[in-house]
Amino acid sequence: MLQVNNIDVFYGNIQALHGVSLEVHEGEIVTLIGANGAGKSTLLKTLSGLLKPKSGDVMYLGNKISGKPAQTIVKAGMSHVPEGRRVFANLTVEENLDLGAYLRKDKDGIAKDLDHVYELFPRLLERKKQLSGTLSGGEQQMLAMGRALMAKPKLILMDEPSMGLAPLMVKAIFEIIKMVNAEGTTVLLVEQNAHMALSVAHRAYVLETGKIVLAGSAKELKESDEVRAAYLGGL
């Protein structure tokens, strides 16, 4: 579904990604783990068209999308849940969700998907008329995920969905990620909570200083001494 071929990405003169290659197959949850500053968010921003690779390319459903504008990529069926939620604080929950569907014209489908988002996140239904800036961190994360789902993506990119959340809320968010995947949406997950990420993923990559250093099934990486020492607290 997604193929990243040897991409180099720069911020000015500073190289953030060095020859990164990875693939995501339809129906999978693939996770990308790594320390802060490893380049994980940079990779997701490149995939969703917010950054352009200097070399290499990104193929999505057989088409080259690297260098295409973000809205074209969303239209093709890829949504991005950004790090730090990025909800529109001065708009209501419902208005944020409506914005997620801004490229769609199928009114009946949009209404159906809105109902489904409220099924997945009952808390959002309770707060639908509330300004999203007044929500808790966990509720804002649910809203960011719901907004991305309103675009009806085939592939959803999630950047640090558990960041800054209480353990119970983290558990709830990961249950929803599994549910979304079970309903047919492919997931590429960037996550610092390596233990949780590897427990829901099918496959995983480890990114260090802008390079992929390990790849394999989630089970293999969970059992790797290297990964345990670096990311799982020696568990």
Q: What CATH code is carried by the domain that includes residue 63?
A: 3.40.50.300
Query: How confident is the model over 62-83, as pLDDT tens digits?
Result: 999 998 999 899 989 999 888 7
Rg (the chain; Cα; Å) = 17
Does 122 fall in a domain? no
On whether residue 209 sits in a domain, the answer given is yes
* pLDDT mean across residues, the chain: 90
Residue 28 is assigned to a structural domain of this protein: yes
Cα 229 from Cα 30, distance rounded (Å): 21
Q: How far is CA 129 from the centre of its chain?
A: 26
pLDDT (tens digit per residue) in 112-166: 989 989 988 888 998 899 898 888 888 888 899 899 999 899 999 999 888 877 7
CB count within 10 Å of CB 230 equals 18
Name 215's Cβ contacts closer than 8 Å, sequence gap at least 6: 22, 203, 204, 205, 206
Looking at residue 26, its amino acid is E
Domain count of the chain? 1
Which has the higher per-residue pLDDT, 36 or 15? 15
| Three-class secondary structure of residue 20 per DSSP | strand
| Residue-level pLDDT at 235 | 47
Domain limits for position 64: 2-86+152-231
SS (H, E, C) 185-217: CEEEEECCCHHHHHHHCCEEEEEECCEEEEEEE
- The answer to whether residue 51 sits within a structural domain is yes
Task: Give residue-wise pLDDT tens across range 78-105.
Answer: 998 887 668 888 899 999 998 888 888 8
| Residue 22 belongs to some domain of the structure | yes
Q: Please report whether residue 117 resides in a domain.
A: no
Question: Which pLDDT does position 84 carry in this prediction?
Answer: 65
Q: Are 89 and 131 in contact (CB under 8 A)?
A: yes
pLDDT in tens, 19-42: 999 999 999 999 999 888 889 999
- Let me know if residue 112 belongs to a domain: no
pLDDT at 59 over 80: yes
- 194 is a domain residue: yes
Q: Is the pLDDT of residue 234 over 60?
A: no
Instruction: Provide the 3-class DSSP secondary structure of residue 2.
Output: strand
pLDDT digits 0-9 by tens, 171-204 = 888 988 998 899 999 999 998 888 889 999 999 9
Which amino acid, one-letter code, is at 8?
D
Q: Which residue reads 């707060």 in tokens? A: 127
Q: What is the pLDDT of residue 233?
A: 65
- pTM for the whole structure: 0.88
